[in-house]
Amino acid sequence: MNYYVLASLAEDINSGWCWIKGSDVSNRSLVQIKNKNNGKSIVCEALSVDRNFEKKYRYSIPSQTNKELLDMPNVVLMNAWYREKLGINDTQRNHSLQVSFVTKWDVSKRIKACTMHPQVAVRLSTWLGLVGVFVGTVSLIPSQPHKLIAATAIGFFVGKLNMTRAWSK
C-alpha cells in the first residue's frame, strides 16, 4: 500500500514509534514496516494519528500548504532514524510500504524493535540482556567440560557479532 511519508515532530526524534494514519493496527502496538521497493524493514511502536495530534502537527508547521498534508488517507510520520533504516531519503511523497501487526508471541521481532530503537541506551540494554541470558543458560549446565565448551561457543558467537554495527544499523 502507498503511504505518504512525513517527517515526525522534533520532539519525536528519539522516540521508538511512528504515527500512522490509515492502517488497521491498534494504538501502542508493535508493527513491522517494510519498504517494498528495497526490502528493508523496521519494527517499532505504532501510534494512531488522531484529532489532537493533527491539531498539534498543523500548528507546528508554518506553511499553509504543509498543514493540509495530514488530510491524505494513508500517512506515516517517522523520524529520520527510521526513515534511514527503511532507505527513505525524502519525505512528503508516496512510498510503497507494508505495515503489519507484530503478535505478542513473535519474540524475535520484539527484540528487533529494541535493537533498532533510536536511543543507544535501549539498544545497549537489549544486547547486554541477551548476553546475560546466554551466560545464565551456560551456568545451568551441570558438568564442567560442557560448561567450558558452551562458554567457548558463546564467546566465539559474541566475538563474531559486531556489536557496534548492530547498534548503528
Instruction: Give the residue extent of every domain in the chain.
Output: 2-101, 119-168
Strand 93-101 versus strand 41-48 pairing type: unpaired
- The mean pLDDT of 18-23, rounded to a whole number, is 84
The sign of the CA dihedral 129, 132, 134, 137 is negative
- The winner for highest mean pLDDT among 16-25, 80-89, 132-141, 147-156 is 80-89
- Second-level CATH architecture of 2-101: Beta Barrel (2.40)
Res. 58 pLDDT band, cuts 50 70 90: confident
pLDDT tens, residue by residue, 96-149:
999 999 988 888 899 899 989 999 899 889 888 888 888 787 777 776 676 677
For the segment 67-71, the average pLDDT, to the nearest whole number, is 72
Nearest CA to 52 out of 65, 70, 66, 69 is that of 70
Mutual orientation of helices 120-139 and 107-115 as an angle, nearest 10°?
130
**So what's the pLDDT on residue 147?**
67
What pLDDT is attached to residue 7?
Answer: 86
Q: Is 102 exposed, middle or buried (0-12, 13-18, 19+ CB in 10 A)?
A: buried
Count of alpha carbons within 13 Å of 42, Cβ hemisphere only? 23
Whether residue 42 has pLDDT greater than 90: yes
